[in-house]
Structure 1
Amino acid sequence: MSDHPTDKPANPDAQLEKEIADALGDQSLEQIMQETEAPRAPRRKTSDDAVNTRIGTIAGVRGKEVLVEFGAKLQGVCDTEQFEKVPRVGERVEFVIDGQIEPGVMRLLVPGGAGKADWKTLQQGQIIEAVVSGMNTGGLELKVAGQRAFMPISQIELSRVEDLTPYLNKKLRCKVTELNRKRKRIVLSRRDILEEEEKANRQKLVETLQVGEMREGKVTRIAAFGAFVELLPGVDGLVHVSDMSWSRVNDPSEVVQVGTTVRVKVMKVSESGDRISLSIKEAGPDPWDTVAGQFAEGADVKGTVTRTTDFGAFVELSPGVEGLIHISQLSEQRVNRVEQVVKPGQEVTARITQVDPGKRRIGLSIRALTAKDDDQPRGKTSAEDLRRYVKGEKSAHAGESLGALLNKFGDDGGLKGGIG
């Protein structure tokens, strides 16, 4: 099972029968293919129609041929393409007798092995290779052992296929899901094979996949919440939109496209392996690793407002690095709503008041830019201000009472020698 839905019906057998019936209607396969064929004399049923199977011992492998022994006077030859992997010498394997090459030497097939199908030995459930010869609104038309076969559109891929044209004249590995020799009706499925491969691939991946490791995959689908990346055929993981880039991403298609290869970090794997969480941003360098060398307290910086909240505005200073202007640091005047001062997308200049790479925090202030450039905190009264006030000289606190100035001055300044 992959992360994205495959639209499986509640009753797949009933749904498949309906698709086949809808595609064929009252016509036979011969009629719907719209092909002509010279009439054949009916063939008398013989004992050859029965499938003959025997268990043999692998005697050796020569090129593309597997040599098999059934006894002292009977041998066989089977194409290596019939096997998923080349068998070992001495291994015991069941074969279908497909005919005689010469006296004492039989031509063999592996039950379920993909290869050129023979009408006499064709079985339901057998894995074969067939060439797509045509298409109709219901699916694909194929040639199997000289006979016409049909593959419903829902049985071509794991997901819905919209365009059948790319499959024309292609050789497909498929499974015989229905066989009626009397009516010469053959129904095939490629989806069954893909599902089996997906299950095997997922199991193999779950056994080897480690959280934290890096992988490469191909983007197969993009959604509003992220992108699906194929790690093995039929096995996808999800990169959530928040894990696509260190910068804020509104639309995943801004970062990736279907068909592109991406490097990802494995973040989480469920026990069953049906959910794999991936990250593109974690597969690259962390921009916060270099923040200490880029930004210093007291420096003035420019950035773009990315979003606003009730308590302040976030400003992107460099890709993946944001600072916060608290609502109290937006202006010297009281601010009720952040967007009265700044809005998303607006470029602003602010002063850095705090840098904490460990907590991934940078404090910013616009208000500090308009404050007096001295060492005194805004709103405090210096000893020099008090002296000027007492002597009647012009100061920034003209019009304020001495009591008010002393309250601002507080106990931490110290007059040190008086104010006269």
Structure 2
Amino acid sequence: MEVISKNEILPEDLKLEVQSKNIEKLSYIKKHNLIIKTEVKQLIKRKDNEGGSITAWQLDLDGVPGIVLFEETGLKYEKQMELYVGRQIYVKIIKIIPEPEYVICSRKLALQDLEESLFKKIQAGQIVQGTIHAVGNKFVYVDIGGYVGRISRKDATRSKLPIPLKGLFTVGEKVQVKITNVDYEKKEIGLSIVEATPNPWMTANIQKKDVVVGHITKIITTPNGHNVAFAEIMPGLEAIVTVPAKGFALKPGDKIQARVTKFDPQNKKFRVRLIQKLAK
């Protein structure tokens, strides 16, 4: 269990000088309206006294059981709760039950506080650290201090290879993101992983005659009937591939070894000559 400070875009540990039992420490946290970062231990479903059911996250707050009812999760659908088991979440304490000792918490209130604090500090152009919250087919979701932003593929990676986003990003992974725009009225933040990373044309250490490895991204046919192949040598760096007249049949996805014949980063011109196809 970590106690969170709202004074930073990325929350950090807040060291509490509280020498007391855990339940007293939790009382201190509640009194001072602090936010806790803790792990969801399991999803529990039980019958209530009126014949209905209760669905909640179970937490362990330094030995004191905690629960977050669905209504306090901040989620739209109850079925989403299972996805958070084993993951860290932000919560605020809303009630402490003395007998038996347990704590009722709210993720929804914690996120509201973090979001309010976040929007007071951020501005377009800032680069901050985020955490991969979820990965879908078309979008990557990144958490920056409690706010989860949606990033499209073109803003998530420079790679043009047909690799699913789940093959490029992992939930829990730390990434640098640039805040591209802030809508203070709608409470929306635009994020980009690509813009937070150096342009490979400016940073790549590639020289003429170097041997490089890449993957064919596309093959186009020119008006005079010639096929031209393109290969991604690294994300954001695509080269035109000169192919010997005979003996090679290339298709998108093929892994190749090639020799650099031209690398002009200022004019973004990159050419390589095929040496051989490689096993994938």
Give the TM-score normalised by the residue count of structure 1.
Answer: 0.39
**Distance change (3 Å), C-alpha of 1:324 and 1:138:** farther
Q: Describe the SS at the equivalent of 1:358.
A: coil
Following the alignment from structure 1 to structure 2, what is the Cα–Cα distance between the partners of residues 218 and 300?
A: 35
* 1:358 paired to 2:270: no
2:182 aligned residue: 269
1:345 aligned residue: 253
Instruction: Say which of 228, 245, 251 aligns to 2:141.
Output: 228
Q: Describe the SS at the equivalent of 2:239.
A: strand
Following the alignment from structure 2 to structure 1, what is the Cα–Cα distance between the partners of residues 44 and 221?
A: 64
Q: CA deviation at 1:139?
A: 1.6
1:287 aligned residue: 200
Q: CA deviation at 1:365?
A: 5.7
**Distance change (3 Å), C-alpha of 1:139 and 1:205:** same
* 1:138 paired to 2:46: no
Instruction: Say which of 173, 181, 186 aligns to 2:93.
Output: 173
CA deviations over 1:64-104 (Å, ceiling 9, x no partner): 9xxxxxxxxxxxxxx86664469xxxxxxxxxxxxxxxxxx
- Greater relative contact order: 1 or 2 (C-alpha under 8 angstroms, separation 6 or more)? 2
Counterparts in 2 of 1:144-183, with a 5 A limit? 154-159=70-75, 160-162=77-79, 173-174=93-94
Q: Describe the SS at the equivalent of 2:271.
A: strand
Q: Describe the SS at the equivalent of 2:266.
A: helix
Q: CA deviation at 1:271?
A: 4.0
Larger Rg: 1
One-letter code aligned to 1:275: E
Following the alignment from structure 2 to structure 1, what is the Cα–Cα distance between the partners of residues 33 and 257?
A: 65
8 Å contact kept, 2:160–2:232: no
8 Å contact kept, 1:138–1:153: no
1:243 aligned residue: 155
Following the alignment from structure 1 to structure 2, what is the Cα–Cα distance between the partners of residues 81 and 348?
A: 58
Q: CA deviation at 1:357?
A: 1.0
Q: CA deviation at 1:223?
A: 0.8
**Distance change (3 Å), C-alpha of 1:315 and 1:152:** closer
Q: CA deviation at 1:237?
A: 1.7
Counterparts in 2 of 1:190-339, with a 5 A limit? 194-233=107-146, 235-248=147-160, 250-272=163-185, 274-291=187-204, 293-296=205-208, 303-311=214-222, 312-318=228-234, 320-325=236-241, 330=243
Following the alignment from structure 1 to structure 2, what is the Cα–Cα distance between the partners of residues 202 and 228?
A: 16
One-letter code aligned to 1:316: E
One-letter code aligned to 1:317: I
**Distance change (3 Å), C-alpha of 1:324 and 1:364:** same
2:100 aligned residue: none
Q: CA deviation at 1:134?
A: 7.2
8 Å contact kept, 1:221–1:228: yes
Following the alignment from structure 1 to structure 2, what is the Cα–Cα distance between the partners of residues 161 and 140?
A: 8
**Structure 2: gaps of 5 or more residues:** 1-17, 20-26, 35-42, 57-66, 86-90, 96-103, 223-227, 276-280
2:60 aligned residue: none
Percentage identity across paired residues of the two chains: 20
Q: CA RMSD in A?
A: 4.5
Following the alignment from structure 1 to structure 2, what is the Cα–Cα distance between the partners of residues 280 and 267?
A: 10
Give the TM-score normalised by the residue count of structure 2.
Answer: 0.55
Q: Describe the SS at the equivalent of 2:125.
A: coil
8 Å contact kept, 1:299–1:352: yes
8 Å contact kept, 1:203–1:273: no
Q: Describe the SS at the equivalent of 1:201.
A: helix
Following the alignment from structure 1 to structure 2, what is the Cα–Cα distance between the partners of residues 81 and 155?
A: 22
Q: CA deviation at 1:318?
A: 4.0
**Distance change (3 Å), C-alpha of 1:280 and 1:152:** closer
Q: Describe the SS at the equivalent of 1:294.
A: coil
Q: Give the total of aligned pairs.
A: 207
8 Å contact kept, 2:231–2:240: yes
Q: Describe the SS at the equivalent of 1:139.
A: strand
8 Å contact kept, 2:262–2:270: yes
Higher helix share: 1
